[in-house]
Amino acid sequence: MQTERFESHQVEQAAGVLRRGGLLAFATETVYGLGADACNGTAVAGVYAAKGRPSFNPLIIHLPDLAAAEQFGVFSPLARKLAEAFWPGPLSLVVPVREGAGLSSLVTAGLDTVAIRVPAHDGARAVLAAFGGPVAAPSANPSGGISPTRMSHVLDGLDGKIDAVLEGGNCAVGLESTILYAGAEVALLRAGGVTVEDVEAVIGQAVARPEDPDTPKSPGQLASHYAPDAQVRINATERRAGEVLIGFGAVTGADLNLSAAGNLSEAAANLFDMLRRADGLARQDGRSIAVSPVPMTGLGLAINDRLTRAAADRG
Ligand code: TXA
Ligand code: MG
């Protein structure tokens, strides 16, 4: 399959790929997604195949606004409050699926809930408006690899396996959306681009954490994920022999620095690109990757989550 490259203004052609049941990668403010018509089972099956994704791992559907989202999911007052506060933006809400709404059962992997997101990126919004239906879109990378924040990252992993990619620049947030289960209570399923502190400020109550034994879990939170080829060592306070060092803050002698100023938003936007570049350097001469400590506040929670998975035992 030849992967077509569309420039950012070629939104109609891009939406046409979705209408024909094809696979379209497009930028969002978090990471590039690999989109398909969420009501077309064959198209959705193609997403799983292109990524090599296990079929028990459900997909997020993307819609233009809360009104469209309510056609596919059932929103509690708390879910609606979160949507109103953070949409459009880097937040996905897991809510009960609305029966008879026409989603392919492959999207939800047979669960009775669906994850819904309203992205803020102009290109993503234009494609969603032109297509006019729900777009199922996981991150546009082979399963288990590093999420793409540049068009070149998408092509590195999926060129020849997908129909088209719509150019959308570099992803401004750089980390996937925060995923919240939003019923009568709110539980964190995946840390991401919206901080837990901001969520708690909006709902005025604590968010249950994934470590809590009774909270719902997300099928996709595998221990090893976001993995470069090279081994990764986190919380590295110095560079050891044979390591490529990714710094954070005022670190001397780092090969790359997530944010020399110690800014977590900047670090998030750089994270996946720098992991890929460090992997390229490490591959040249058989080195491994070390990453400086990143604080656990704000976006640091999501950054550390991704780094911990990148460093996890591959089993
Ligand atoms: O920022 C993002 O969320 C990006 C962009 C493209 O929107 N998408 C993304 O999708 O990160 P993906 O497939 O890489 O991660 C989606 C996660 C998976 O861990 C999956 O298990 C979880 O969402 N998920 C999807 N539906 C769910 C559900 N009904 N209940 C619990 N977890 C769900
Ligand atoms: Mg992913």
Query: In the predicted model, what is the mean pLDDT of the chain?
Result: 96
Q: How far is the CA of 58 from the centre of ligand 2 (A)?
A: 11
Buried b (16+ CB within 10 A) or exposed e, 152-190: ebbbebbeebbbbbbbbeebbbbbbbbbbbbbebbbbbb
What average pLDDT does range 72-100 have in this prediction? Answer: 97
What does the alpha-carbon distance between residue 223 and residue 309 come to, in Å, rounded to a whole number?
6
Confidence band for 315, pLDDT divided at 50, 70 and 90: low
The answer to whether 171 and 27 have CB atoms below 8 angstroms apart is yes
What does the alpha-carbon distance between residue 98 and residue 67 come to, in Å, rounded to a whole number?
13
pLDDT tens digits for range 160-218: 999 999 999 999 999 999 999 999 899 999 999 999 999 999 999 999 987 776 766 78
pLDDT tens digits for range 243-259: 999 999 999 999 999 99
Specify the pTM. 0.96
Which atom of ligand 1 is nearest the CA belonging to 90? Answer: 1
SS3 62: strand
Q: Whose CA is nearest to atom 19 of ligand 1?
A: 220
What does the alpha-carbon distance between residue 258 and residue 292 come to, in Å, rounded to a whole number?
9
The answer to whether 5 and 152 have CB atoms below 8 angstroms apart is no
Which atom of ligand 1 is nearest the CA belonging to 141? Answer: 14
Give the torsion sign (CA, 297, 313, 175, 200).
negative
User: What is the per-residue DSSP string for 253-265?
Assistant: T-SEES-TT--HH
Residue 5 bridge partners (DSSP): 165
The answer to whether 144 and 227 have CB atoms below 8 angstroms apart is yes
Q: How far is the CA of 216 from the centre of ligand 1 (A)?
A: 14
Pairing of strands 4-6, 91-96: unpaired
Confidence band for 314, pLDDT divided at 50, 70 and 90: confident
Which atom of ligand 1 is nearest the CA belonging to 32? Answer: 6
Q: How far is the CA of 271 from the centre of ligand 1 (A)?
A: 19
pLDDT tens digits for range 3-48: 999 999 999 999 999 999 999 999 999 999 999 999 999 999 999 9
Q: Which of 179, 188, 226 to mutate to test the pocket of ligand 1 (most atoms within 8 A of CB)?
A: 179
Residue with the bigger pLDDT between 313 and 192: it is: 192
